[in-house]
Chain A
Amino acid sequence: MNNRVIKVDYLARVEGEGQLLVKIKNDAVTDVKFSIIEPPRFFEAFLRGRHFTEAPDITARICGICPVAYQMSSCHAMESICGVKVDGALRELRRLLYCGEWIESHALHVFMLHAPDFLGYEDSIQMAKDHPDLVKNALKLKKIGNEIMILLGGREIHPINPKVGGFYKVPTKKQLQGLVEPLKWALDFAIESVKIMAGLEFPELERDYEFVSLRHPDEYPLCEGDIVSNKGIDIELSKFFDYFEEQHVPHSTSLHAVVKDRDDYLTGPMARYANNYDKLTPKAKKAAEDAGLPKVVLNPFKSIIVRAVEMVFACEEALRVVDEYKMPDKAYVEVKSKAGVGFGCSEAPRGICFHRYEIDDGGIIKDARILAPTSQNQKAIEKDLRQFVENHLDLSHEKMTWQCEQAIRNYDPCISCSCHFLNLQIERE
């Protein structure tokens, strides 16, 4: 008879602080708690009273790993309130900046944080001893993502150049062309990475997820789109709270999001891929096909392959933007404040980052609501864990603990984000 408690007090290789507790009694899982113990930082509260133009700089500080997501979602929200549309080359540069963040963040997660689980290392540095070229190339790829961020954003963490309306300064064509050679190498290595990741061994787990992502008529989504799911949701951003709600549970400083009258949902690479397969760039699609990846992936451990496919996409898309770029005359569109309510949503590497703001005539923020991707995934993570543990009760304690951690890392959880957001404990009584 299996009675045990699996407990991880400080989950590693995730951004921020989380815990896991799984209780097993008489071969049944009696409790699964994935908690976020990150101290709350109250962004939504102190955004009140700030000027709308400050939102991109302030919200960036929610997360050092995906600041661009916060900057893009907040800029779009403010622009929609003020009736401004940022188009043409400026819109393209935003996509390019976002590709930089995807390359950097996906490379970090795929190789440095997640791959060691599959290959049996505590971390990427130990992994580097046996797989030196893999780690060196991974770092090189990550650096290319960061180089895009530095060129367009001024720096890799908390870029200073994006603003409501566009940018403070735009690069010359020549500056962008400097990215071509590194990006070509990155594209080749990303394609190889899809093969490498597809060759890993995957623990068994499949669930019938509700995949929630953005969808855009013309492109694989980054900054803009409607919110869709594989279970029938297809809505404008303004309808978000008609379909989704947040619940505050005692074991977490992060709020749990659910689909109203239904249940948990999944956002992030697997959702984007399932909902937007037809919009993948040619090489990304080919890499997925060559690796035998189905159009919908239901095993969350395989998210590592999907992330690699998205790295191919991001490199290909970045090369396209650089190639087609014509330097605009002005770095930004003038934005005059107007009282109103607006929404912004963009695809952070780990899922949709949803913002709602209300501002007054003078441009002062009256109310802010921000949903980070990881808080939206919390419930899906707990359900994955429950099913995984139930189906693998024969695993040793050590292996179970490790694979539970790995199951959480499937989501590339960014806990600093969601706390407004983790620690693993498995109890077998």
Chain B
Amino acid sequence: MSPIKKPKLAVWKFASCDGCQLSLLDCEDELLAIADAVHIANFPEASRAVAKGPYDISLVEGSITTPHDAERIHKIRRSSKFLITIGACATSGGIQALRNFKDVNDFISIVYANPEYIETLNKSTPIADHVFVDFELRGCPINKYQLVEVLNAYLNGRKPNIPQYSVCVECKRKGNVCVMVATGAPCLGPVTQAGCGAICPTYQRGCFGCFGPKETPNTSSLADWYKNLKLSEDDIMRYFRSFNAFAEPFRKESEAHE
């Protein structure tokens, strides 16, 4: 295939830890094949070569936290055929959305001596709050095999096969003993979307919600379970309020325990 016909892939970064885009470089076995199948047109973490848009696929990592970024995402949308958000930062605002529950000015003065140098928005918001998103890939970080699946699907014009059931389903399939029943560890598995492979329960700890809420989660019933496990209201609030704190079902549940 001539290099001109290859679909163009771009990777964009907003407020994030770089972990999700690193997942692409962590595809050690697939990386050279991916680079063969697509033209990596913009991926500053890996290359200083930049090709102009439009791009066939844009992968967007990170959340919107500055006025400048709120503008930039629109430009990226305009130059992308498909825009796919990767990771909890991009799909729910990420851990930095903890500011959404407080006054950001207090935060600035805790970290910086001269707050006047810092330009930031009150809230950290997901990409889909600003532009139309074609597909949201969850996780903090994303699962690299799911990333390869999503890229494959879009390159071949089909729907990505990404399950929306809960971590519990993955956990049962692995043959784990339920950590909540067996050890009394609070676990977000029942309300969290699958994708990680139920690693926490496999390592004998409760799920802490990296992949965000599953479809129609019953968070309040799970919170009742936590009460039976003798968790305090504060503990319950914190449990729902981490990497996907601003995802609607988790946000509401954490607010119910404030």
Contact = CB atoms under 8 A, between A and B. Distances in A.
Interface stretch (B20-28, B129-137, B156-164, B217-225): B20-28
A40 B120 contact: yes
Contact of A12 (B44, B118, B200, B243): B44
Interface stretch (A91-99, A139-147, A192-200): A139-147
Question: Which residue, of A10, A42, A156, A161, has the highest number of chain B Cβ atoms within 10 A?
Answer: A42
Contacts of B181: none
28 contacts: A12-B50, A15-B45, A39-B15, A39-B65, A40-B108, A40-B112, A42-B104, A42-B111, A43-B95, A44-B111, A46-B96, A64-B16, A122-B47, A122-B48, A123-B46, A123-B47, A125-B31, A125-B35, A139-B32, A155-B199, A157-B26, A158-B140, A160-B200, A163-B205, A168-B203, A168-B205, A255-B112, A405-B48
Given A13-B44, A42-B107, A154-B203, A139 B31 contact: yes
Contact of B18 (A15, A146, A160): A15
A40 B118 CA distance: 8
Interface of B: 13-23, 25-26, 28-29, 31-32, 35, 40, 44-50, 65-66, 69, 94-96, 98-99, 102, 104, 106-108, 110-114, 117-118, 120, 140-141, 196, 199-200, 202-205, 208, 210, 235, 238, 242-243
A376 to B, nearest CB: 16
Contacts of A11: 44
Contacts of A67: 19
A13 B47 contact: yes
A58 B210 CA distance: 11
A15 B43 CA distance: 11
A355 interface: no
A287 B111 CA distance: 42
Interface stretch (A48-56, A80-88, A265-273, A293-301): A48-56
Given A46-B99, A54-B238, A140-B28, A63 B18 contact: yes
Given A63-B17, A126-B49, A155-B199, A143 B113 contact: no
Contacts, number: 183
Given A42-B108, A51-B238, A61-B17, A146 B47 contact: no
A154 B19 contact: no
A62 B96 CA distance: 10
A71 interface: no
A40 B115 CA distance: 11
A108 B14 contact: no
In this complex, the member of A44, A64, A122, A255 whose beta carbon has the largest number of chain B beta carbons within 10 angstroms is: A64
A63 B22 CA distance: 10
Contacts of B118: 40, 253
Contact of A42 (B29, B99, B238): B99
